[in-house]
């Protein structure tokens, strides 16, 4: 008898539009969340000059989003062989995104440590996002031979970073409603990511009758991680740890 996992349909005619919609929503979040501070930086209004690691991260992040859009379009046009070959670019891109993202944030937190009031408690949020992205993206590469699993892992990985971009758009108005307490932080920081998670679960239920097993396992784990992040953020013992990380890890020296 076939197992439940093997009965899950790898493809559905609605997949192409759903994942294209996800890419469009991701790009809207990136533009809405990062275009204003980028414009401010070019206008000379940034708090500090961008170190090389931040340029690397911005380039890697943009490359990931462009690659994702191209991959979705290749599948839509039936060019799956090119899709598979091009996907190997992400093997080298993932560690670049993780490391550059982490050390960009180290630099940012180092600046704010030296220019109070600082925001070191916030440091746990990008740490969680970048580590979750790296783990999910690496798992997606490891499951390239299982298309249904592969594309959902890529979706979850990308949701972590575009969710963070959307938080730049939605976080402040949500924070005005929810506050910044233990549960309030879940609302103002992770609502955008969780909407993406909910969307893919609902999509699977509508098109397959149930969520894919990888979603059953990982969506609750991601949400549990969010609650852990909020607990750490509000824990008195976290702030000195965050200060120590920002002050002592290797990184580019402050230039402004």
- Give residue limits of the domains in the chain: 14-248
Highest mean pLDDT among 31-45, 110-124, 208-222: 208-222
Over range 166-174, report the average pLDDT.
84
179: Cβ contacts below 8 Å, ≥ 6 apart: 188
Contact of 139 with 217, CB cutoff 8 Å: no
The number of helices, as runs of H, and strands, as runs of E, in the chain is 10, 0
At 154, list the tokens. Answer: 């890529």
Contact of 132 with 140, CB cutoff 8 Å: no
> Tell me, what's the pLDDT at 2?
41
> Tell me, what's the pLDDT at 19?
94
Range of weakest confidence among 87-91, 166-170, 213-217, 233-237: 87-91
Does the pLDDT value for residue 1 go beyond 60?
no
252: Cβ contacts below 8 Å, ≥ 6 apart: 51, 52, 53, 107
Range of weakest confidence among 58-72, 199-213, 238-252: 238-252
Does the pLDDT value for residue 191 go beyond 60?
yes
> Tell me, what's the pLDDT at 173?
85
Q: End-to-end alpha-carbon separation of the chain, Å?
A: 66
Q: What is the mean pLDDT of the chain?
A: 86
- Comparing 46 with 90, the larger pLDDT belongs to 90
Residue 74 vs residues 20, 87, 151: alpha-carbon distances, Å: 11, 11, 14
Res. 253 pLDDT band, cuts 50 70 90: low
Does the pLDDT value for residue 31 go beyond 80?
yes
pLDDT tens-digit map of 46-75:
666 778 888 899 899 999 999 999 988 888
pTM of the model: 0.88
Contact of 165 with 32, CB cutoff 8 Å: yes
């Amino acid at each position: 008898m076939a197992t439940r996992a093997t009965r899950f349909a790898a493809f559905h005619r609605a997949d192409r539009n759903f994942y294209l919609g996800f890419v469009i929503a991701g790009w809207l979040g990136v533009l809405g969340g990062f275009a204003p501070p980028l414009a401010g930086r070019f206008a000379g209004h940034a708090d500090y000059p961008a170190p090389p690691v931040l340029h690397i991260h911005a380039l890697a992040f943009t490359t990931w989003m462009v690659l994702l859009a191209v991959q979705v379009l290749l599948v839509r046009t039936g060019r799956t062989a090119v899709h598979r070959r091009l996907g190997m670019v992400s093997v080298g891109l993932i560690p670049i995104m993780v490391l550059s993202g982490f050390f960009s944030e180290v630099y940012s937190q180092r600046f704010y440590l030296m220019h109070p009031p600082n925001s070191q408690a916030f440091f746990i949020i990008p740490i969680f996002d970048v580590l979750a992205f790296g783990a999910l993206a690496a798992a997606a590469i490891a499951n390239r031979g299982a298309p249904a699993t592969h594309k959902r892992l890529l979706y979850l990985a990308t949701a972590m970073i575009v969710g963070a971009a959307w938080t730049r758009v939605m976080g402040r108005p949500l924070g005005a409603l929810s506050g910044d307490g233990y549960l309030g932080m879940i609302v103002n920081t992770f609502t955008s990511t969780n909407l993406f998670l909910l969307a893919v679960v609902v999509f699977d239920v509508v098109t397959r009758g149930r969520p894919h097993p990888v979603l059953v396992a990982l969506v609750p784990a991601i949400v549990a991680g969010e609650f852990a992040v909020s607990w750490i953020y509000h824990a008195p013992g976290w702030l000195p740890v965050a200060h120590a990380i920002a002050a002592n890890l290797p990184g580019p020296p402050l230039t402004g």
